[in-house]
Homo-oligomer: A and B are copies of this chain.
Amino acid sequence: MARIVQKYGGTSVADIARIKAVAAKVARHVAAGDEMAVIVSAMAGTTNQLVDYCRQVSPVHDLREYDTVVAAGEQVTSGLLAMALQELGVPARSWMGWQIPVTTDAVHGNARILGIDSDELLERMANGEVPVVAGFQGVAAAQARAGRIATLGRGGSDTSAVALAAALKADRCDIYTDVDGVYTADPRIVRRARKLSRITYEEMLEMASLGAKVLQTRSVELAMKHRVRLQVLSSFEDLPGTLVVDEDEIVEQEVVSGVTYSRDEAKLTLVRVPDRPGIAAAIFGPLADAGINVDMIVQNVSEDGRSTDVTFTLSKAELPRAVQVLKGRDDLGFERAVPDENVVKVSVIGMGMRSHAGVAKRMFQSLADNNINIQVISTSEIKISVLIAEQYTELAVRALHTAYGLDAPIAG
């Protein structure tokens, strides 16, 4: 008997048959005596359709109206799943963000949860009722009257689920998705990738940030902060997934747990920037003011002592805007800006790095052995990322997966 929050993603509720299958799965938990709360996404495809409507109406639209439109998808699935549970004899009711309420800040389109009023939900769960909560949405608390619907950004239902699990002090938060767990690498690229049975919050956070699309980054942050035991698993198979847990719950820590890649990277080099104090602030200040996130930064040593090349990376989507912001700044005095979209960021991640020497060396050696040139390097305590030319993505990921001993044994 446990208190469990389950989240079902868009593919898990893609049609009525799947919604009924989800209801059956939840009903089995209820029959076993578990206290259940469920978070649902919109039916697969619905959110994209609604986002597309908004873009068609107006390329630059009021995000409060955008939130009102896109939140409708989760409203539909929560009502349908509540019905499906009732059909199986399980007491259930749907809950919209504004009904609970799930209060958020007023950053529409990408709001953060400020609080969840859990009293009534807990009382109903204790009486055997299953709350079916519309994910992805809350209500902006700023207005005294008539709060507006706010959404948490794409993938926000993961965050809804973790926040609800924290508020309900749930024993576990199960994230049902279309993959059956977290892998040592993308199985579409690395055939010998292995599913991890456990991974730490810190590693999961790096993986989510560095390109593994299993969980929304913010949901992992939140799980780490509130120590919510997360499980990632598939709603289509009855197999154990990957548990995301505290470090001390993992007995045998591998040096490297996974290799990730992100193609959503672009590189921008400013050639012959005057080499004077304050120049970095002068470059990155305006970019920050424009809301552009810069990731890796390299400043070359200048040959003549008077000028230097500054290279940094950012998301592909923000490259044109960054170029525009910098071209308008004659005071920076650089010769030219050279954009490059033909790059990928490949990272190795592992808690074990902290206590093992030679992890970086093995990465560089492995890439060198495959004649892959490293353009930029950045490291943290538990990851090493390199920027390389995009055409080497698969080669690099496979080579590193082998180099760190992550390959699954060959069957037979």
**A residues touching B (Cβ–Cβ < 8 Å)?**
16, 19-20, 50, 53-54, 56-58, 61-62, 64-69, 71-73, 75-76, 78-80, 82-84, 86-87, 93-96, 98-100, 120, 145-149
> Contacts A53-B16, A57-B16, A57-B19 given: A75-B83 contact, CB under 8 Å?
no
User: Which residue of the partner chain, among B16, B61, B83, B99, contacts A146 with CB atoms under 8 Å?
Assistant: B99
User: How many Å from the CB of A44 to the closest CB on chain B?
Assistant: 14
User: Which residue of the partner chain, among B68, B75, B149, contacts A69 with CB atoms under 8 Å?
Assistant: B75
User: How many Å from the CB of A86 to the closest CB on chain B?
Assistant: 6
A68 touches B84 (CB 8 A): no
* Interfacial chain B residues near A100, Cβ < 8 Å: 146
A57 touches B20 (CB 8 A): yes
Please indicate which of the listed interface residues A16, A57, A61 has the most CB atoms of chain B within 10 Å of its own CB. A57
A68 touches B58 (CB 8 A): no
> Contacts A72-B72, A147-B99 given: A16-B79 contact, CB under 8 Å?
no
Determine the residue in chain B with the shortest Cβ distance to A78: B68
Please indicate which of the listed interface residues A71, A82, A147 has the most CB atoms of chain B within 10 Å of its own CB. A82
* Interfacial chain B residues near A73, Cβ < 8 Å: 72
Main secondary structure of the interface of A (DSSP, over half): helix
B83 touches A57 (CB 8 A): yes
* Cα of A72 to Cα of B96 in the assembled complex, Å: 11
User: How many Å from the CB of A54 to the closest CB on chain B?
Assistant: 7
A-B contact pairs, 17 of them (CB 8 A): A16-B57, A20-B57, A54-B79, A54-B83, A57-B87, A58-B83, A58-B86, A61-B83, A62-B86, A64-B93, A68-B75, A68-B78, A68-B79, A69-B75, A71-B75, A72-B73, A98-B98
> Contacts A61-B86, A83-B58, A100-B146 given: A53-B69 contact, CB under 8 Å?
no
* Interfacial chain B residues near A61, Cβ < 8 Å: 83, 86-87
* Interfacial chain B residues near A19, Cβ < 8 Å: 57
* Interfacial chain B residues near A145, Cβ < 8 Å: 120
Determine the residue in chain B with the shortest Cβ distance to A132: B65
> Contacts A146-B99, A146-B120, A147-B99 given: A69-B58 contact, CB under 8 Å?
no
* Interfacial chain B residues near A62, Cβ < 8 Å: 82-83, 86, 93
A65 touches B50 (CB 8 A): no
* Interfacial chain B residues near A58, Cβ < 8 Å: 83-84, 86-87
User: Which residue of the partner chain, among B16, B50, B80, B146, contacts A76 with CB atoms under 8 Å?
Assistant: B50
Determine the residue in chain B with the shortest Cβ distance to A95: B146
User: How many Å from the CB of A103 to the closest CB on chain B?
Assistant: 14
B87 touches A65 (CB 8 A): no
B94 touches A79 (CB 8 A): no
* Interfacial chain B residues near A146, Cβ < 8 Å: 95, 99-100, 120
B72 touches A57 (CB 8 A): no
User: How many Å from the CB of A68 to the closest CB on chain B?
Assistant: 4
Determine the residue in chain B with the shortest Cβ distance to A49: B76
* Cα of A19 to Cα of B96 in the assembled complex, Å: 26
